[in-house]
């Protein structure tokens, strides 16, 4: 088989790494990929810039399967275009991708299908949003302000008071902090609790949830500072007890599947449930319609079942027959970023320690934002690399991950010291 993976980050490196373990997979192309492809002997990067080029490449190279990591292309309708050309592609069509591409659409979907979520209002006019906040009531703060469109995981602002809430609305709607993604916003009640990520596979007949994960979104320790694309993950998530998982399945996953069927959504792909576990129960914060980053990097190494088997069964609409099995271990992923991320950061710094990294079944290095220059690995993005370690306990996984990332050096490398604590 020949596989094409669409995307450039650590998630795409992890997907390629997992698929390369299947003997049927002979070649993996990653577009545009990163230098991590050099660490997989059957992988190769290709420069493709738009949907037409992806289709042309897939035809010319007899690609058997395309997997989309990037949410932007899903929202643009890459799946619909591939299908028109009789090309097999794993991901939601344009209609289903709206569940991620528009938070406003997703919230209305949740409300329609009685999926437990925070109360909310949607605004496309600045004055209406400000007027709503003026009448929100001091005792109801904090409040959450979200850009409705895609914002690379950074479009959610928790405002502690009226002043901060108005600033957030102004930044998003007037100053266009997230460009056109902020033309419409969602203002919703703040939920106090612990976040959880549950990735799942679906063929729209059934949803198969994977192991839970705990992402650490903020740049600073103890969840302080700016939102990022994710600073690290522990899996399984210690807050997802059997009771929590049962409530998630009953009140969120099951009605989501009913909603997909009622809306005539039909695709083979991923649904990522972003949850908040509160004293009042489990709530759905958001959907992502592709594998999460960096959750994928932590979860896939724990997967015992062959990933390609799961995907192939979904195309045959036989996902219900797959028994997904897991290693009885824990996983910790620590993300090393360039100093200054998620705002301005330097590129082109030499990375030391990649060649010396001793990879085995329990210790894996996934590259996110790095390239090769004059035989050196150098930084090329904000999130540079992910060190993922497995252990018999969460503590063992954490210790292994920090022991190994401590040996990787580049100018102003930064990583949180409290992932999974």
Complete DSSP assignment for 365-397: EEESSEEEETTEEEE-SSEEEEEEEEESSHHHH
Is 419 domain-assigned? no
Is 101 domain-assigned? no
Beta bridge partners of 383: 337
* Residue 370, CA atoms < 13 Å, CB-side half-sphere: 31
Is 119 domain-assigned? no
Tokens of 405: 């990332």
- Using DSSP's 3-state secondary structure scheme, residue 293 falls into coil
Neighbours of 138 (CB within 10 A): 7
CATH for 246: 3.30.470.20
* Domain ranges, residue 335: 330-406
Are 294 and 197 contained in the same domain? yes
Number of domains in the chain: 4
Are 301 and 362 contained in the same domain? no
DSSP category for residue 150:
-
Q: Which of 125, 34, 90, 128 is nearest to 271 (CA)?
A: 90
Are 381 and 364 contained in the same domain? yes
Sign of the torsion angle spanned by Cα atoms 257, 280, 247, 395: positive
Are 210 and 248 contained in the same domain? yes
Which one of 297, 321, 345 terminates a domain?
321
Is 261 domain-assigned? yes
Where does residue 250 fall: left (phi above 0), alpha (psi -120 to 50 degrees), or beta otherwise? Answer: alpha
Is 344 domain-assigned? yes
- Please report, in tens digits, the pLDDT of each residue of the chain (421 residues total): 999 999 999 999 999 999 999 999 999 999 999 999 999 999 999 999 899 999 999 999 999 999 998 889 999 999 999 999 999 999 999 999 999 999 999 999 999 999 999 999 999 999 999 999 999 998 999 999 999 999 877 789 999 999 999 999 999 999 999 999 999 999 999 999 999 999 999 999 999 999 999 999 999 999 999 889 899 999 999 999 999 999 999 999 999 999 999 999 999 999 999 999 999 999 999 999 999 999 999 999 999 999 999 999 999 999 999 999 999 999 999 999 999 999 999 999 999 999 999 999 999 999 999 999 999 999 999 999 999 999 999 999 999 999 999 999 999 999 999 999 9
CATH for 373: 3.90.600.10
Are 167 and 199 contained in the same domain? no
CATH for 63: 3.40.50.20
Are 317 and 390 contained in the same domain? no
Q: Which of 99, 104, 111 is nearest to 71 (CA)?
A: 99
Is 99 domain-assigned? no
Check: CB of residue 100 under 8 Å from CB of residue 71: yes
Are 215 and 312 contained in the same domain? yes
Is 118 domain-assigned? no
Q: Rounded to two decimals, what is the model's pTM?
A: 0.95
Is 168 domain-assigned? yes
Pairing of strands 2-7, 27-32: parallel
């Amino acid at each position: 088989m020949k596989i094409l993976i669409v995307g450039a980050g650590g998630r795409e490196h992890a997907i390629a790494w997992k698929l390369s373990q299947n003997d049927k997979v002979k070649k993996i192309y990653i577009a545009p990929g990163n230098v991590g492809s050099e660490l997989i002997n059957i992988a190769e990067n290709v420069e493709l810039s738009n949907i037409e080029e992806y289709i042309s490449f897939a035809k010319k190279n007899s690609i058997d399967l395309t997997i989309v990591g990037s949410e932007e292309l899903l929202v643009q309708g890459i799946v619909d275009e591939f299908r028109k050309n009789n090309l097999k592609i794993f991901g939601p069509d344009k209609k289903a991708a709206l569940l991620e591409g528009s938070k406003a659409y997703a919230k209305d979907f949740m409300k329609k299908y009685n999926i437990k979520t925070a109360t909310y209002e949607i605004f496309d006019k600045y004055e209406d949003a400000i007027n709503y906040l003026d009448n929100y009531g001091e005792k109801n703060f904090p409040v959450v302000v979200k850009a409705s469109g895609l914002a690379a995981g950074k479009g959610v602002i928790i405002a502690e008071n009226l002043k901060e809430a108005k600033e957030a609305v102004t930044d998003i709607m007037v100053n266009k902090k997230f460009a056109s993604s902020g033309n419409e916003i969602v203002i919703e009640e703040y939920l106090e609790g612990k976040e959880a990520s549950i990735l799942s596979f679906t063929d729209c007949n059934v949803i198969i949830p994977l192991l839970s994960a705990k992402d650490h979104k903020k740049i600073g320790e103890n969840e302080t500072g700016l939102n990022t694309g994710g600073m690290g993950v522990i899996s399984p998530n210690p807050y997802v007890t059997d009771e929590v998982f049962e409530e998630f399945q009953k009140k969120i996953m099951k009605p989501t599947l009913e909603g997909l069927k009622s809306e005539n959504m039909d695709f083979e792909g991923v649904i990522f449930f972003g949850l908040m576990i509160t004293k009042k129960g489990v709530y759905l914060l958001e959907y992502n319609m592709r594998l999460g980053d960096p959750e994928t990097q932590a979860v896939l190494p724990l997967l015992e079942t062959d990933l390609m088997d799961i995907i192939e069964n979904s195309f045959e609409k036989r996902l219900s027959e797959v028994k997904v099995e897991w290693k009885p271990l824990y996983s910790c992923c620590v993300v090393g970023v360039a100093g200054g991320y998620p705002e301005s950061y330097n590129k082109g710094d030499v990375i030391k320690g990649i060649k010396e990294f001793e990879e085995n079944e329990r210790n894996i290095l996934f590259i996110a934002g790095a390239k090769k220059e004059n035989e050196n690995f150098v930084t090329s993005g904000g999130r540079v690399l992910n060190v993922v370690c497995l252990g018999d306990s969460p503590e063992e996984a954490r210790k292994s991950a920090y022991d190994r990332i401590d040996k990787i050096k580049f100018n102003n490398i930064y990583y949180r010291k409290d992932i999974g604590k």
